[in-house]
Amino acid sequence: MYQQLVEKKQKLAVIGLGYVGLPIALEFAKKISVIGFDINAQRIELMKQGIDPSNELEREAFEGCDITFTNSLDVLREATFYIVAVPTPVDHHNVPDLTPVKRASETIGKVVKQGDYVVFESTVYPGCTEEDCLPVIERLSGLTMGEGFKLGYSPERINPGDKQHTLATIVKVVSGCDAESLETIAKVYELVVTAGVHRASSIKVAEAAKIIENTQRDLNIALMNELSIIFDRMGINTFEVLEAAGTKWNFLKFFPGLVGGHCIGVDPYYLTYKASELGYNSRVILAGRYINDNMPLYLARKVVQHVIRNVDDVKSAKVLVMGATFKENVSDIRNSKVADVVRELQDFFLNVDVVDPHADSDELQHEYGFGLAKETGKDYDAVIVTVCHEPYALLDDAYFASITKPNALVADLKGTYRGSITSRQYWSF
């Protein structure tokens, strides 16, 4: 398998060409022949033109790549090594939604052949690949794992907006259904991962490793958020506390903030869901999730309290929210907690304008029911800087004074303007 891929006698396919799948497909396409498969025909047409629909990759990333973009099963069937990189979200009740990964399994089941390899990269709870996905593939293909095809799991570690930690520079965890598949899968990934691979002892171990990476970050940020609530009541600036504590060599430098995106705010629910199925109700993990999920409400109430104290007619109050994406310098609005902030403010009948240099207004309207303001106003009663995009870092006290009323509040969630806002009231997590 490996040698035939290297000699381009066989092809590798990536199913799902979003934030994770497209970078993987293009990286492999620099070395071997690749089929990039996605069910969205509109996205396929953009990628054929060298355009990343997710706005993460430049046109140069497509150059020199041996790749065919398609939504055709007949073309997909030409591959012998399949990588699945579809989303794994949660529903409105924070229950794992396996619909995308199960549909991808159905697709695999229709095209997989004797001797093929299937590797999942989608983040799931331990056991999902073998207990939920494998039966679908076997039922539709008529093949069995091991004798008919090989199965593996290699958790994605793509970080949107991060140009330093890329697929090639991050150690890749790989696993397989047996010793032979583990070595083959490892060798295939070593074609593109210069940092090397870590061979996990089983598929479940690899799945668990991924799920706790983001659970650990979630819990640490939850601690910082809880500390910020406590310190706010004490009149202490949290960022000054963390700056002082950070002088100790083994202090972990996490910071308070809104926890959105497709990973940190979602993955822990996959682990707690599986734990509850096994009869264990998580306490620590869900406590952290509770704190982080409620930070938008906490923020909105702080702003509303300021408005009530300073504005005679609350319903006339105007609030500017700067930043709608889930993190700085990306266009990704998936699970953006900024949307929760906007909804909370609107529930208090405040007039809310949202601006963002990276987000797409139509996408926001479709996903959350509000779009971007066409221009920034001049008489806001509060400004919330939720995400410190690069252009925002250059702003100063004079700018905020120019767009706000004299008694306005500047809520700086990242502490970007700490010590520099003097003409308006200032607050941060």
Task: Please report the DSSP string for 23-54 in residue order.
Answer: HHHHHHHTTS-EEEE-S-HHHHHHHHTT--TT
Is the domain defined by 227-427 classed in CATH 3.40.50.10440?
Answer: no
Q: CB neighbours (10 Å) of residue 297?
A: 14
User: Domain 2-201, what fold?
Assistant: Rossmann fold (3.40.50)
383: enclosing H helix or E strand: strand 380-385
Q: Do domains 2-201 and 227-427 have the same CATH topology?
A: yes
Q: Which residues pair with 426 in a beta bridge?
A: 410
* Predicted pLDDT at 162: 66
Contact criterion met (CB below 8 Å) for 118 and 149: yes
Domain coordinates in residue numbering, the chain: 2-201, 227-427
Q: Could you give the residue numbers annotated as active site?
A: 263
Is residue 21 within 8 Å of 14, Cβ to Cβ?
Answer: yes
pLDDT reported for residue 223 = 97
- Around 104, how many Cα atoms within 13 Å sit in the side-chain half-sphere? 28
pTM for this model (two decimals): 0.91
User: Per-residue confidence of the chain (429 residues) as pLDDT tens digits?
Assistant: 889 998 999 999 999 999 899 999 999 999 999 999 999 999 999 999 999 998 888 899 999 999 999 999 999 999 999 999 999 999 989 999 999 999 999 999 999 999 999 999 999 999 999 999 999 999 999 999 999 999 999 999 877 766 777 788 899 999 999 999 999 999 999 999 999 999 999 999 999 999 999 999 999 999 999 999 999 999 999 999 999 999 999 999 999 999 988 889 899 999 999 999 999 999 999 999 999 999 999 999 999 999 999 999 999 999 999 999 998 998 989 889 999 999 999 999 999 999 999 999 999 999 999 999 999 999 999 999 999 999 999 999 999 999 999 999 999 999 999 999 999 999 999
> Please, are residues 269 and 94 in contact by the beta-carbon 8 Å criterion?
yes
Strands, E assignment, 159-272: 172-176, 197-199
